[in-house]
Amino acid sequence: MKKPLVIVTRKLPDVIETRMRELFDAKLNVDDKPMSREELTTAVQTADVLVPTVTDRLDARILSRSGDKLRLIANFGAGVDNIDLESARARGITVTNTPGVLTDDTADIAMALILAVPRRLVEGANVLTNGEFKGWSPTWMLGQRVTGKRLGIIGMGRIGQAVARRAKAFGLQIHYHNRKPIPKPTEEELEATYWDSLDQMLVRMDIISVNCPHTPATYHLLSARRLKLIKPTSYIVNTARGEVIDENALARMLEANELAGAGLDVFEHEPAVNPKLLKLKNVVLLPHMGSATLEGRIDMGEKVIINIKTFADGHKPPDRVLQAML
């Protein structure tokens, strides 16, 4: 049986690439250079299966030029906001993702930021590396205690709940806004308070953690208007997608001390970062590393392989985001 031509857009862990070569006619990106739009267009015209990552923008224009062979886009990532799903559906292309395997890794980074920003950990580390440490003082480098604070989680899916479990262990009070309440047993386990109104929750929280996906409905969910609802003594942590927050408004408010601080692992126009954010001391900025563990990347790759192998064998892939209608 002829092996499907699988084009992979970025370098993956060696163990995953080796397995792909064994199972498929795999065309790998050993140099890890991001594909241009022209290269992505060529890939969708020639591949049986495309394995993109979250930074590969497969919009309607690119997908409209896909060849008749392309029937599966096996996304290397849980989020699929990089793919025009309606265009894929119209072309008869099934889309899969890699859910569930990054939950703990991303929640760990979110919790690290929840601790690092109020306690000024990065700012303190920079004092040492810059040779500015003159000795301990009772009133120097004072941050905010985390225990007892109210944490408002936006998006209470797998990652939001994992963040809640970690935060509860540190003594935070758990509040959340979601499309609908989570099951009662989970809510009781987390001692979590549900807010139907995001506006009302924001007004009362000490720390906000963004854990919802980027969709048309969540674009700038934290708009300039909503950001102004948050107390000046509060902090924002975002490990989801940069587009959920109006980054320009956030930078202005942080610069004006209208918010106490922010911890950001994602940005609205990645890889570009708002220059105002780079100059601020009350922010911790990470280079989209929430899921960056070797174990997590291997688990993602294994899910991609399972989805491709299942599809190639004529069965429904387990992680379908979009089942083609044709």
For 17-69, what is each residue's pLDDT tens digit? Answer: 999 999 999 999 999 999 999 999 999 999 999 999 999 999 999 999 999 99
Average pLDDT over residues 269-289: 96
Among 230, 166, 231, CA closest to 221: 230
- With a cut of 60, say whether residue 324 has pLDDT above it: no
Catalytic residue among 89, 270, 302, 320: 270
Average pLDDT over residues 255-270: 97
pLDDT of residue 72: 97
Q: Is 241 a catalytic residue?
A: yes
pLDDT of residue 189: 97
Q: Is 288 a catalytic residue?
A: yes
Tokens describing residue 129: 């590396």
- With a cut of 80, say whether residue 260 has pLDDT above it: yes
Residue pointed to by tokens 């929750």: 201
pLDDT of residue 7: 98
Residue 208's SS3 state is strand
Average pLDDT over residues 159-164: 98
Residue 18's SS3 state is helix
CB 230 within 8 A of CB 202: yes
pLDDT of residue 206: 98
pLDDT digits (tens, 9 = 90+) for 89-144: 999 999 999 999 999 999 999 999 999 999 999 999 999 999 999 999 999 999 99
What separation in angstroms does the CA of 111 have from each of 24, 40, 243?
Answer: 39, 36, 21
Three-state SS annotation for 255-315: HCCCCCEEEECCCCECCECCHHHHHCCCEEECCCCCCCCHHHHHHHHHHHHHHHHHHHCCC
Catalytic residue among 91, 120, 288, 297: 288
pLDDT bucket at 245, cuts 50 / 70 / 90: very high
Cβ-count burial of 98 within 10 angstroms (0-12 exposed, 13-18 middle, 19+ buried)? buried
Q: Is 270 a catalytic residue?
A: yes
pLDDT of residue 323: 57
Distance CA 251, CA 102 (A): 28
Average pLDDT over residues 179-193: 97
Average pLDDT over residues 64-82: 94
pLDDT of residue 2: 85
Catalytic residue among 177, 241, 243, 268: 241
Average pLDDT over residues 201-222: 96
Distance CA 246, CA 147 (A): 28
Distance CA 102, CA 119 (A): 26
Supply the mean pLDDT for the chain: 96
CB 180 within 8 A of CB 122: no
Please state the pTM of the whole predicted model. Answer: 0.89
Distance CA 218, CA 140 (A): 39
pLDDT bucket at 322, cuts 50 / 70 / 90: low
The domains found in the chain, sorted by start residue, are 5-101+293-322 (3.40.50.720), 103-285 (3.40.50.720)
pLDDT bucket at 325, cuts 50 / 70 / 90: very low
Distance CA 29, CA 23 (A): 17
